[in-house]
């Protein structure tokens, strides 16, 4: 019977073991899907994959912002991105294909979706977020473990990387002219993604 992580895990090392295993599990699924896509369509939708475990310092800061005590149970209950995977694609259409393929996996449970591509943040940020659980089969139990997945194009990732650096440089209070420039860059990135996808679709149509 599957259990939540904090029902069966009572120390930080066990938490890390479970979340690292969840990253391995999802990474393997993505590699298989990418290989299958290459076999069927002769095309790889995934450019590359980044994964990470959130540091204990970042987790504690997040719990403080939420106003809850720093316990293992609260970490697992209130921090959804302890295990995070970022999938980088070539085209916007790839994002939705990958999200659908993941959601269709029988052992993946999709908890929530935030589509910042159709509904960008005010800053201009665009990405597709999925919060899922995946079962981790240990020797004596099965643990349902949360993983946050972000899917974006190369251009979106480039923009988000710069925005992240600026956010921390100015501690979230960047000058207005820099914020305005970032919004304009986000528009350019969106236009570039649309144009590149249109070119790719035309190439695919002509090749047929």
Instruction: Note if 57 is an active site residue.
Output: no
CA distances to 64, 123, 156 from 176, in Å: 28, 11, 21
Q: Is residue 73 part of a domain?
A: yes
Q: Is residue 188 part of a domain?
A: no
pLDDT of res. 157: 96
DSSP structural state of residue 54: P
Three-state DSSP class for 9?
coil
**CA nearest neighbour of 49 among 19, 20, 22, 84:** 84
CATH at residue 124 = 3.30.460.10
Q: Is residue 194 part of a domain?
A: no
Cβ contacts of 35-39, under 8 Å, gap ≥ 24: none
Q: Is residue 16 part of a domain?
A: yes
pLDDT of res. 1: 46
pLDDT of res. 145: 95
Three-state DSSP class for 2?
strand
Q: Is residue 185 part of a domain?
A: no
Q: Is residue 174 part of a domain?
A: no
Three-state DSSP class for 11?
coil
Task: List, as one string, the DSSP characters of 127-141.
Answer: -EEEEEEEEEE-SS-
Q: Which range marks the domain in which residue 109 is found?
A: 2-154
- Given 25, 144, 148, 163, the catalytic residue: 148
Which tokens go with 30? 């993505």
Q: Along the chain (208 residues), what's the average pLDDT of each consecutive run of 10 residues?
A: 51 87 96 90 89 90 91 89 96 95 96 97 95 93 94 96 89 88 94 94 84
Q: Is residue 203 part of a domain?
A: no
Q: Is residue 70 part of a domain?
A: yes
Please count the structural domains in the chain. Answer: 1
């Amino acid at each position: 019977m599957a259990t939540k992580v904090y029902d069966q895990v009572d120390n930080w090392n066990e938490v890390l073991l479970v979340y690292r295993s969840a990253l391995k599990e999802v990474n393997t699924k993505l590699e298989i899907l990418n290989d299958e896509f290459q076999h069927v369509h002769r095309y790889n939708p995934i450019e590359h994959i980044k994964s990470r475990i959130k540091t204990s310092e970042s987790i504690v800061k997040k719990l403080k912002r939420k106003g809850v005590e720093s316990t293992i149970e609260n970490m697992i209950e209130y921090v959804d991105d302890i295990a995070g995977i970022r999938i980088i694609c070539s085209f916007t259409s790839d994002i939705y294909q990958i999200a659908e393929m993941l959601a269709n996996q029988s052992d993946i449970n999709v908890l929530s979706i935030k589509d910042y591509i159709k509904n960008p943040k005010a800053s201009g940020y665009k990405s597709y977020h999925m919060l899922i659980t995946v079962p981790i089969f240990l020797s004596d139990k099965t643990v349902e473990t949360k993983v946050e997945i972000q899917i974006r194009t190369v251009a979106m990732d480039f923009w988000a990387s710069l925005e992240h650096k600026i956010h921390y440089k100015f501690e979230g209070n960047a000058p207005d002219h820099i914020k305005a420039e970032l919004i304009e860059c986000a528009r350019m990135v969106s236009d570039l993604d649309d144009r590149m996808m249109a070119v790719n679709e035309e190439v695919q149509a002509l090749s047929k």
